[in-house]
Amino acid sequence: MAAVTPPMIAPSILSADFANLSSEVASVAGSDWLHVDVMDAHFVPNLTLGLPVVQSLLRVTDIPLDCHLMIEDPGRWAPPYAEAGAHNVTFHAEATDDPVAVAKDIRAAGARAGLSVKPGTPIDDYLAILDQFDTVLVMSVEPGFGGQSFIPGVLDKVRLLRDRVDHGELRILVEIDGGINDDTIEQAAEAGVDCFVAGSAVYGTADPALAVQKLRGLAESGRDEAR
Ligand SMILES: O=C(CO)[C@@H](O)[C@H](O)COP(=O)(O)O
């Protein structure tokens, strides 16, 4: 089955020019969310940005911020992103023993809570707690770097989640992240993704806004195939 809401595109600023973030964000006006990759050089082998940059971004854009925390100890660090005004605060299932407590704190601080799973992490282990979340972010590359190749095997997780949502057993938005581009987005849409994160496929082009539009159109086509 296909998702019923229009496909959402969330450009990942990991592939943007960090020296010109304000104009890079403006260049994707019309995107549904802006995906903000927070990496701590511990949970993943890369270091990007943190709360001060998110606070600055919130001052220059109306696009809802989709903060993806690839960090250790999200129970300590996640709620301030919600307090700052992030729309979604997503953390990794692998980074905490108590994901429900972290989700409750994020929601209490005013944001939507997201749970992310690495490609090798089964979603079955978390189905029973997904009612505590608003989004589930299925990683289709190993988290840490942009520009990697899409791992199609993760679409089994998307199909399982889509099925649960379509049968009313779950109310959650299904998001995918990693290797999403013109060649891969249709198969992800066909599997049932609601929201598509794309970094290099947006910021690696001469016209990021056009790239977003094109990705949205291709996601629509993938949906049509699934119907
Ligand atoms: O979180 C991550 C990587 O850890 C992603 O957001 C990537 O940054 C997406 O980049 P592309 O694969 O689309 O280039």
**Is residue 168 part of an annotated ligand binding site?**
no
Residues marked as catalytic: 37, 177
Distance between CA atoms of 187 and 194, rounded to whole angstroms?
Answer: 12
Distance between CA atoms of 51 and 107, rounded to whole angstroms?
Answer: 17
Q: Which residues line ligand 1 at a C-beta cut-off of 6 Å?
A: 12, 14-15, 35, 37, 68, 70, 141, 143-148, 177-180, 197-201
Closest atom of ligand 1 relative to the 37 alpha carbon: 1
Domain boundaries, the chain: 8-226
Beta-carbon contacts of residue 168 (< 8 Å; ≥ 6 apart)? none
Distance between CA atoms of 77 and 71, rounded to whole angstroms?
Answer: 8
Distance between CA atoms of 30 and 37, rounded to whole angstroms?
Answer: 19
**Is residue 199 part of an annotated ligand binding site?**
yes
Neighbours of 97 (CB within 10 A): 7
**Is residue 178 part of an annotated ligand binding site?**
yes
Beta-carbon contacts of residue 28 (< 8 Å; ≥ 6 apart)? 11, 34, 63, 202, 208, 209, 212
pLDDT of residue 3: 64
Cα–Cα nearest to 128, from 159, 176, 173, 170: 170
Alpha helix (H) residue ranges in the chain: 21-26, 51-60, 74-84, 99-108, 155-166, 185-191, 200-203, 208-226
pLDDT of residue 2: 58
- Looking at residue 36, the DSSP 8-state letter turns out to be E
Distance between CA atoms of 163 and 3, rounded to whole angstroms?
Answer: 10
* pLDDT tens-digit profile, the chain (227 residues): 556 688 999 999 999 999 999 999 999 999 999 999 999 999 999 999 999 999 999 999 999 999 999 999 999 999 999 999 999 999 999 999 999 999 999 999 999 999 999 999 999 999 999 999 999 999 999 999 999 999 999 999 999 999 999 999 999 999 999 999 999 999 999 999 999 999 999 999 999 999 999 999 999 999 998 88
pLDDT of residue 196: 98
β-strands 65-70, 195-198 pairing:
unpaired
- CA of residue 133 relative to chain centroid, distance: 13
Closest atom of ligand 1 relative to the 35 alpha carbon: 6
- Name the residue at shortest CA distance from atom 1 of ligand 1: 143
Fold of 8-226: TIM Barrel (3.20.20)
- Name the residue at shortest CA distance from atom 8 of ligand 1: 146
Q: Tokens 């099925």 identify what position?
A: 163
